[in-house]
Chains A and B, each alone.
Chain A
């Protein structure tokens, strides 16, 4: 396992403007025959997939085909769900995610997650960022202040909130709340970001802002995004994977570069889905 950068250590950051397309086929996450069951009902079965480092991978498909469940396996949020059983293997570098002795706290620090509905804590804007940092052992006030500013700048929120860091986070607009949640995840220096329809609860304008933000995070983070918005997937994703319900369980139908999936799909289901004829 690559050592996680200590949160108290120097914060090496690439400038955000460096917007290179994700480089080469360097795989970061290897998923092998992953299946998930809620009690006895399968959510998805036999998903084998490799996620490239620094790329945006979009997971698309109709509702109920296990995309979100798939995401929650990667940071083991599935542990929280009673009656949920996962089989298969997920490797992030050399870290076996599903192994019983894996430190989930460290795992979840490496893998940030953004939910569909913005979910800042009912605390102030500042406390929303400080609280997780403190809990992960960052005590130095100067460093904390620095991190707050850097991450809020990264998500383009600094100028909007710098004068009211101590007002309630829930008073922010939906789009601002979502960007705050992204900042909260980024503050912990993750390598991977899981995004579960991060724009679907937002108005079109905020959705556009968040989308631009996601694009700007490319290459610094490995991003997996679930989206129902095919045009969005087309605009931002480097790779795309189509999930579909077959025989009562979600399955991975096709995976490839976004260009290939949207323009030259091999599977007839994919062709029908991306052309809007099904799903």
Chain B
């Protein structure tokens, strides 16, 4: 016979369920409100012209064409630099250093600290090092490199976790077949570690694309179409910040730009999770 709950137990159970659901509902509601507000105010301003035209009158009118281009270029620089360094370091940490080695411990600890450093600090560092010391000035290159520094800790740690999640049996069986370590890493471990890499990439790119503080000091404010990576370029988040804080009457375009940013973020997230579940799985099977 099924045991029936006594009344107080029943009440406690009910309360616990309500608490859990309530918390989840609260979080979802905040997100929906935020998103709803942006869509409500922004959607009507979005058009093809808005996405391609240059901003006019300090951004009150016109579009965000050059700003989108700058944002993508900054992101491109950031990924080009951070992916190889990130994967390389993750391989070193996961495959070539033991958990207890001094080098591994120090590196991991520094990465964890770096991951929590406020972005404004990265911005000041980028300004001092890339803009001034290396003489790159306010440029897309400086901005992208600064973002790379910011993204790397997250990317490395989660890729490392991805490598560690690959069963040891793969390493033993490749070694037992007389395969070299490089072969094992490239052909077996890397494809298997891709989900971890993607998680890090999504978190990192999410942080990078939404970044304002680190870019204000490095890639600058200029809202013209960039002609090279050494040109200053305004990122989307800076544009939103500028329109809503410094430009009176820029609210409508700020909302529209924010909506574009959110859509970009969702698209990146969606692509990555699709890749993790379908695209790369198939690839891992057929390589």
B286 and A135 form a contact (CB under 8 A): no
Contact between B178 and A104, CB atoms less than 8 A apart: yes
Give chain A residues whose Cβ lies under 8 Å from the Cβ of B286.
Answer: 123-124, 127, 166
**Does B177 interact with chain A (Cβ within 8 Å)?**
yes
Known contacts A105-B178, A108-B178, A124-B285; A117 and B187 CB within 8 A of each other: no
Residue A75 at the B interface, CB < 8 A? yes
A115 and B172 contact, Cβ closer than 8 Å, known pairs A122-B192, A123-B286 = yes
**Contact yes or no, B177 A122, CB < 8 A:** no
Q: Which residues of B contact A181 (CB under 8 A)?
A: 173
CA distance A265 to B284 in the complex (A): 51
Q: Give the complex CA separation of A131 and B188 in angstroms.
A: 10
Residue pair B176, A77 in contact (C-beta under 8 Å): yes
Say yes or no: B285 contacts A168, CB within 8 Å.
yes
- Chain B contact-residue range equals 20 to 34
- Type the 1/0 row for A79-109, where 1 means its CB is closer than 8 Å to any CB of B: 0101000000000000000000000111111
Contact call B191/A75, Cβ cutoff below 8 A? no
Enumerate chain A residues within 8 angstroms of B180, measured Cβ to Cβ: 105, 135
The answer on a CB contact under 8 Å between B187 and A131 is yes
Cβ-defined partner of B169 (8 Å) among A75, A82, A106, A115: A115
For residue B167, which residue of chain A has the nearest CB?
A119
Q: How far is the CB of B190 from chain A (nearest CB, A)?
A: 12
Interface check A136, CB cutoff 8 A: yes
Chain B neighbourhood of A166, CB < 8 A:
286
Flag whether B61 is at the interface (Cβ < 8 A).
no
Q: Which of A126-173 contact B (CB under 8 A)?
A: 127, 131-132, 135-136, 166, 168
Interface membership of A188, Cβ < 8 A = yes
Whether A188 and B178, one on each chain, are in contact in the complex, defined by CB atoms closer than 8 angstroms, is: yes
Shortest Cβ distance from B176 into A: residue: A113
How many angstroms between the C-alpha atoms of A166 and B285 in the bound complex? 9
**25 cross-chain CB contacts under 8 A:** A75-B176, A77-B176, A80-B172, A80-B175, A104-B178, A105-B180, A108-B175, A108-B176, A108-B177, A112-B177, A115-B173, A119-B167, A119-B170, A119-B172, A119-B173, A121-B173, A121-B174, A122-B188, A122-B191, A122-B285, A123-B286, A123-B287, A132-B179, A136-B178, A184-B177
B222 CB → nearest A CB, Å: 48
Query: Does the CB pair B178–A119 fall under 8 Å?
Result: no
In the complex, A56 has a CB within 8 A of chain B: no
CB-CB < 8 A to A82: which residues of B? Answer: 98
Of all chain B residues, the one with the shortest Cβ separation from A75 is B176
Contact of A185 with B by CB under 8 A? yes
How distant is B279 from chain A, measured CB to nearest CB, in Å? 15
Q: In the complex, how many angstroms separate the beta carbon of B73 from the nearest chain A beta carbon? A: 36
- In angstroms, Cα B285 to Cα A29, docked, is 38
Contact A119 B285 (CB under 8 A): no
B178 with A121: CB separation less than 8 A? no
Given contact pairs A107-B178, A124-B285, A127-B287, enumerate 16 new A-B contacts (beta carbons under 8 Å). A77-B175, A80-B171, A80-B172, A108-B176, A108-B177, A112-B177, A113-B173, A113-B176, A119-B167, A119-B169, A119-B170, A119-B172, A121-B188, A122-B188, A122-B192, A185-B177
Distance, CA A117 to CA B175, complexed state (A): 16
Whether the pair B191, A112 counts as a contact (CB closer than 8 A) is no
CA distance A89 to B285 in the complex (A): 41
The residue in chain B whose Cβ has the minimal distance to the Cβ of A133 is: B177
Instruction: Kindly list chain B residues whose C-beta atoms are within 8 Å of the C-beta of A132.
Output: 177-179
C-alpha gap A82/B95 in the complex (Å): 12
Bound Cα distance A106, B180 (Å): 11
A117 touching B169 by the CB < 8 A rule? yes
Nearest CB in chain B: distance from A8 CB, A: 15
> Does B28 make an interface contact (CB < 8 A)?
no
Residue of B nearest to A136 (CB): B178
What 7 A-B pairs are tightest by C-beta distance, nearest first? A108-B178, A113-B176, A109-B178, A119-B169, A105-B178, A132-B177, A119-B173
Contacts of B80 in A (CB 8 A): none
* Nearest opposing residue in chain B for A110, CB measure: B178
How many angstroms between the C-alpha atoms of A150 and B180 in the bound complex?
A: 25
Contacts of A80 in B (CB 8 A): 171-172, 175
With both chains docked as a complex, state the minimum distance between the C-beta of B241 and any C-beta of chain A, in angstroms.
45
Least Cβ–Cβ distance between A276 and chain B, in angstroms:
31
Taking CB atoms and an 8 Å cut-off, the chain B residues in 136-193 that contact chain A are: 167, 169-180, 183, 187-188, 191-192
- Min CB distance B228 to A, Å, is 43
Contact with A along B89-106 (1 / 0, CB 8 A): 000000000100000000
Q: Which residue of chain B has the shortest Cβ distance to A80 in the bound complex?
A: B175
- In Å, the complex CA distance between A82 and B169 comes to 16
Interface contact B175-A121, CB-CB below 8 Å = no
